[in-house]
């Protein structure tokens, strides 16, 4: 029989209250607390907590606390990327952030999905789709990126935008839903 964690990792519907998943959530909660309450005077201790929490943190990447996630180990942050205050990365599926990415304050990357039909939703079934952020992307403050979205290299997403579909490389996109408004040459 396939475990709920295996179903989650395969992108299939799963029940989030599975004991193995709860244990992973608890682990992440402890590490987030350690990271989020680490003293600014101890950048190495803070980085150590972040490296233990996340799947990969590239060289010279920087994340400002507070930072929130589900599991942590599904998140990859590329080298020289910067994540500002109050980021929420719900990593039920993989979140991949390229090199030199700038993430503004209060940005949300949301991989979970929930059934539209009331019965399965009431029964607590959910699923997820990965999010991929290309190299040198800038996500403006308060931007929200939804499950299954990929954003191409060099793209700028305006503050407060809600990204519901893939965005190509080298564009500026704004609005809800986010739409490209100009090319970057």
Query: Helix (H, G, I), strand (E, B), or coil: what is residue 61?
Result: coil
Please give the average per-residue pLDDT across 12-26, as a whole number: 95
Q: Please tell me whether the overall predicted TM-score, pTM, comes out greater than 0.85 for this model.
A: yes
Say yes or no to pLDDT of 1 above 80. Answer: no
**pLDDT tier, 157 (very low <50, low <70, confident <90, very high otherwise):** very high
Determine what percent of the chain is predicted with pLDDT higher than 70: 99
- What pLDDT score was predicted for residue 185? 80
Question: Which domains, and CATH codes, for the chain?
Answer: 4-183 (2.160.10.10)
- What pLDDT score was predicted for residue 161? 98
* Active-site annotation holder among 7, 114, 129, 179: 114
Query: Helix (H, G, I), strand (E, B), or coil: what is residue 36?
Result: helix
- What pLDDT score was predicted for residue 124? 92
| Residue 86 designated active-site | no
């Amino acid at each position: 029989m396939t475990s709920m964690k295996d179903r989650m990792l395969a992108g299939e519907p799963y029940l989030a209250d599975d004991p193995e998943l709860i244990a992973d959530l608890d682990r992440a909660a402890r590490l987030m607390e350690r990271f989020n309450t680490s003293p600014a005077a101890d950048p190495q201790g803070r980085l150590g907590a972040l490296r233990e929490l996340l799947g990969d943190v590239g060289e010279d990447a920087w994340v400002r606390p507070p930072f929130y996630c589900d599991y942590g180990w599904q998140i990859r942050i590329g080298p020289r990327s910067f994540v500002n205050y109050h980021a929420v990365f719900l990593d039920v599926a993989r979140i991949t952030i390229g090199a030199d990415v700038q993430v503004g304050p209060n940005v949300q990357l949301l991989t979970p999905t929930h059934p539209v039909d009331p019965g399965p939703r009431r029964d607590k079934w959910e699923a997820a789709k990965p999010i991929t952020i290309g190299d040198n992307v800038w996500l403006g403050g308060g931007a929200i990126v939804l499950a299954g979205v990929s954003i191409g290299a060099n793209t700028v997403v305006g503050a407060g935008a809600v990204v519901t579909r893939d965005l190509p490389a080298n564009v500026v996109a704004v609005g809800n839903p986010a739409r490209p408004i100009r090319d970057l040459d």
